[in-house]
Structure 1
Amino acid sequence: MSEDSEPEERATARPLFVPVRTGPAGSVALMYRTPLGARTAVGFTSAQRLAATLGPAHDSVRLSHRALRALAEPLGITHIAVDPRLAAPAPPAPSVVSPVPHAGSGRPRGEFVS
Structure 2
Amino acid sequence: MNPTTTIPKPTAAELDLLQTLWPLDAATAKQVHAAMQVERPDVTYATVLRLMQIMHGKGILIRDASERAHVYAPAQAQDSLQTNLLKDLIQKAFAGSAKALVLAALRSGLSKKERAEIERLLKDEQP
TM tier, smaller = under 0.3
Tell which has more relative contact order, 1 or 2 (C-alpha 8 A, sep 6+): 1
- Structure 1 length as normaliser, TM-score? 0.24
- Structure 2 length as normaliser, TM-score? 0.22
Structure of higher CA gyration radius: 1
| Structure in which a larger fraction of residues adopt helix | 2
| Structure in which a larger fraction of residues adopt strand | 1
